[in-house]
Amino acid sequence: MREKLSLNTVAKTNKTRKRIGRGPGSGSGKTSGRGHKGLGSRSGGKVRAGFEGGQMPLQKRVPKYGFSSRVNRFTEEIRLSTVSGLEVEEISLDLLKEKDLIKNSTKIVKIIKDIESCPKLNIKGLKATSSVKKLITEAGGTLEE
């Protein structure tokens, strides 16, 4: 019962790592745990991510899905507040391109609602949501699609 606490009786908390390549008696000498020949024995030899030993990998076996719609390349949305801020008689696609509010490649523009009231607007050649159409007609404006 009278054991003294001394340094040699305390168990080690950190185990020392095994040193490789230090002769046959060490247990991991010569090939240093890499085996004989092959990719894993070479320096920098790693199998790339997704490689399955020549078998068709999973990412190529699974079918592709989804696509990017080409319609969206020529379509844009614009806010009603932006359009109502323009002080012109008639708002058209060409005017929005001229003012740099949309890209020159844009062919279809839709006005979306972000404010509760708007001034009298005359819009030609633009699409609009039903709530925007209602606001424009209530204000006494016109909308030609």
Residue 74 has pLDDT above 80, yes or no: yes
For 104, how many CA atoms within 13 A lie in the half-sphere containing its CB? 1
Amino acid 11: pLDDT: 75
pLDDT for 91-105, tens place per residue? 999 999 999 999 999
3 pLDDT band (50/70/90 cuts)?
Answer: low
pLDDT for 48-58, tens place per residue? 999 999 999 99
Amino acid 87: pLDDT: 85
Amino acid 4: pLDDT: 66
Find out whether 21 and 31 touch, Cβ atoms under 8 Å: no
Amino acid 72: pLDDT: 85
Mean pLDDT over the full length of the chain: 90
Only one residue has tokens 């190529």, namely 60
Amino acid 129: pLDDT: 95
pTM of the model: 0.54
Q: How many Å apart are CA 20 and CA 29, to the nearest integer?
A: 6
Ranges of each domain in the chain: 75-144
What is the architecture of the domain spanning 75-144? Ribosomal Protein L15; Chain: K; domain 2 (3.100)
pLDDT for 99-125, tens place per residue? 999 999 999 999 999 999 888 999 999
Amino acid 108: pLDDT: 94
Q: What is the mean pLDDT of residues 119-141?
A: 92
